[in-house]
């Protein structure tokens, strides 16, 4: 610990807003990737209450040459909020005010620590709609969503967080405050910031675009004997030239997990469950629901249910929403991946994950966003058991190779964090990685903002030991 760091931080945010006892720090040594067993203690955690305080904290850290790790709710699955080599965690949970909602301009201004679900609720109360809806919306923050460019089921039709971000206030690596969003040129910086995973700046406030709420919404659930049937359903929907609002799936193992947890409206034993939502005006929504039903029949579904009302729709969606909790009842830990392949190869990839699970002796469940080829392949482990974590990591490493061979991507929405760092160059190429390093160097020359995440360090750079170990384990 650098001498004077804690007192300097306390001078900015106040003594009670600085944690430094190991017992207090323990909760900040992991994020949702902690289900793999990974833990790294920070040196301190601070709770600033304003942009100015965040700026003050970053200036203190810059003076002490200390890493800064921004943190929202810690729901990230890529280890992005884990303080790998120690450092100061900047927790934005006290910055949770909705600053303004302008119904006629259809926009909302929020602080970074506002929950995603709060934006949904406030928009809906004004007859408006904020489509980005990660499965974690009741706990994740808008700052975290921006940093990871979070998506969710409705990204299929409406896009991701970046598509709704029209302005930010951000604290740069030297503590200066940037307010961005007024001009067209600003939009480029917003695009850069969305998905930068806390490596370029700390977002403290955001302006988000809202759209009119759809007048009607319809949910269809269909079961199939196999994943091939579900893949055929996607092809049939694409052929009908429809872009549903959401097109989700659970494989047979995921349905069984949900059924075991008592949250399933369908019987276990099915090969796959597909959920489709369409939105629009009442007439088109009715027509589109009919088309979806025919597409499902054509693809060989053995059971189709169209929700009669919003309660029935919520019951169908509960199966998809219950999956993360359900998986935890099967096994205590997991290595949860988030890969993307061309949609017509998703059934092939699901089959491959089961082969990998068998080969490495780790159970696997698959679910995700079928409409955009985004698969959450989840290898189940018990991190307390010797060898489980290594076997899960080995299965994930082979999965990444397979995905890249299929022309896919390592991350659909959860980000790179440090868990996928070793594969970034293989996917993007040396030129793109060099460009990323130049941008990082320009915005954060001391390399203090969330080091060891997203951007692979040069071999000559000092990467936190945990990054080196994780990269070696995954190679
Ligand atoms: C059950 C469950 C379901 C999920 N479903 C989805 C899904 O459908 N779609 C999806 O996209 N993701 C999903 N996720 C992943 C996760 O919720 C998202 O990545 C979310 O955006 C993380 O938000 P957070 O506030 O928890 O951020 P954290 O986990 O705290 O941080 C994530 C990253 O963002 C950085 N960061 C956080 N706040 C800021 C800030 N203010 N400024 C700069 N950087 C910051 C952190 O340093 C870290 O790198 C899910 C997670 C869980 C546990």
**Lowest-confidence pick of 64-68, 180-184, 345-349:** 180-184
Please say whether the beta carbons of 218 and 278 come within 8 A.
yes
End-to-end CA distance of the chain: 32
Does the pLDDT at position 72 exceed 50?
yes
Which of 55, 92, 132, 136 to mutate for ligand 1's pocket (most ligand atoms within 8 Å of CB)?
136
Question: How high is the mean pLDDT of the chain?
Answer: 92
Q: Is 455 in the pocket of ligand 1 (CB under 6 A)?
A: no
3-state SS record for 65-91: CCCEEEECCCCCCCCCCCCCCCCEEEE
- Smallest Cα–Cα separation from 207: which of 123, 133, 100, 124? 100
- Ligand 1 centre from 140 Cα, in Å? 6
| pLDDT (mean) for 170-190 | 92
At 469 the pLDDT is 57
Does the pLDDT at position 475 exceed 50?
no
The CA–CA distances, whole Å, from 475 to 394, 395, 469, 472 equal 8, 11, 10, 5
- Reported CATH class of domain 216-323: alpha beta
Question: Which tens digits make up the pLDDT trace of 194-217?
Answer: 999 999 999 999 999 999 999 999
At 305 the pLDDT is 94
Does the pLDDT at position 352 exceed 50?
yes
* Whole-model pTM over 0.75: yes
Q: Which residue's C-alpha comes closest to atom 21 of ligand 1?
A: 145
Q: Which atom of ligand 1 is nearest to the CA of 80?
A: 49
Q: Is 195 in the pocket of ligand 1 (CB under 6 A)?
A: no
CATH for 5-91 is: 3.30.43.10
| pLDDT (mean) for 241-247 | 93
At 269 the pLDDT is 80
Does the pLDDT at position 310 exceed 50?
yes
332-366+373-405 adopts what CATH topology?
Answer: Gyrase A; domain 2 (3.30.1360)
- Ligand 1 centre from 144 Cα, in Å? 4
State which H helix or E strand residue 22 sits in: helix 22-25
Please say whether the beta carbons of 304 and 296 come within 8 A.
yes
Q: Is 334 in the pocket of ligand 1 (CB under 6 A)?
A: no
At 308 the pLDDT is 87
Q: Is 371 in the pocket of ligand 1 (CB under 6 A)?
A: no
In the chain, which segments carry CATH 3.30.465.10? 98-212
Burial of residue 384, with CB atoms counted within 10 A of its CB: 0-12 exposed, 13-18 middle, 19 or more buried: exposed
Question: Which tens digits make up the pLDDT trace of 247-266?
Answer: 999 999 999 999 888 877 77
Which of 48, 71, 153 to mutate for ligand 1's pocket (most ligand atoms within 8 Å of CB)?
71
Neighbours of 338 (CB within 10 A): 23
321, HSE (Cβ side, Cα atoms, 13 Å): 12
- Ligand 1 centre from 25 Cα, in Å? 20
Given pLDDT bands bounded at 50, 70 and 90, which one contains residue 335? confident
CATH for 98-212 is: 3.30.465.10
In the chain, which segments carry CATH 3.30.70.2190? 216-323
At 325 the pLDDT is 86
* 331 φ/ψ angles, rounded to the nearest 5 degrees: -150, 145
Q: 19-57: b or e for each residue (b if 16 or more CB lie within 10 Å)? A: bbeeeebeebbbbbbbbbbbebebbbbbbbbebebbbbb
Q: Which residue has the higher pLDDT, 261 or 468?
A: 261
């Amino acid at each position: 610990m650098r001498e004077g760091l804690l007192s300097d931080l306390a001078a900015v945010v106040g003594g009670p807003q600085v944690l430094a006892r190991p017992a207090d720090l323990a909760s900040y040594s992991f994020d949702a990737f902690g289900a793999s067993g990974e833990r790294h203690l920070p040196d301190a955690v601070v709770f600033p209450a304003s942009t100015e305080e965040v700026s003050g904290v970053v200036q203190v850290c810059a003076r002490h040459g200390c890493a800064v790790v921004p943190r929202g709710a810690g729901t990230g699955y890529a280890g992005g909020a884990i303080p790998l080599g120690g450092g100061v965690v900047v927790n934005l949970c006290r910055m949770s005010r909705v600053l303004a909602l302008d119904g006629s301009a259809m926009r909302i201004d929020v602080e970074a620590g506002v929950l995603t679900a709060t934006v949904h609720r406030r928009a809906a109360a004004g007859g408006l709609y904020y489509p980005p809806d990660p499965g974690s919306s009741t706990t994740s923050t808008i700052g975290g969503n921006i940093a990871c460019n979070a998506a969710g089921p409705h990204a299929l039709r409406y896009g991701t967080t970046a598509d709704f971000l029209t302005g930010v206030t951000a604290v740069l690596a030297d503590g200066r405050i940037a307010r961005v969003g007024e001009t067209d040129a600003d939009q480029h910086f917003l695009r850069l910031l969305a998905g930068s995973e806390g490596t370029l700046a700390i977002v403290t406030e955001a302006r988000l675009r809202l759209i009119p709420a759809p007048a009607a919404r319809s949910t269809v659930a269909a079961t199939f004997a196999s994943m091939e049937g579900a893949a055929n359903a996607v092809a049939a929907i694409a052929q009908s030239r429809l872009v549903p609002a959401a097109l989700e799936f659970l494989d047979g193992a995921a349905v069984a997990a949900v059924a075991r947890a008592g949250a399933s409206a369908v019987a276990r034993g099915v090969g796959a469950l597909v959920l489709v939502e369409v939105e629009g005006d009442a007439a088109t929504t009715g027509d589109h629901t009919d088309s979806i039903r025919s597409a499902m029949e054509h693809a060989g579904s053995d059971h189709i249910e169209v929700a009669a009302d919003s309660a029935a729709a919520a019951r169908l969606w509960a199966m998809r929403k219950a999956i993360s909790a359900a998986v935890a009842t099967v096994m205590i830990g997991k290595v949860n991946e988030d890969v993307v392949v061309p949609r017509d190869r998703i059934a092939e990839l699901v089959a491959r994950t089961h082969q990998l699970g068998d080969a490495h002796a780790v159970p696997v469940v698959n679910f995700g966003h079928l409409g955009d080829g985004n698969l959450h392949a989840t290898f189940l482990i018990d991190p307390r058991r010797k060898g489980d974590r290594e076997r899960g990591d080995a299965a994930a490493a082979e999965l990444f190779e397979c995905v890249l061979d299929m022309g896919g991507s390592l991350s659909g929405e959860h980000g790179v964090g440090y868990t996928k760092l070793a594969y970034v160059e293989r996917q993007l190429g040396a030129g793109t990685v060099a460009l990323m390093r130049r941008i990082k160097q320009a915005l954060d020359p001391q390399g203090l903002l969330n080091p060891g995440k997203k951007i692979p360090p040069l071999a000559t750079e000092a990467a936190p030991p945990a990054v080196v170990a994780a990269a070696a384990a995954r190679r």
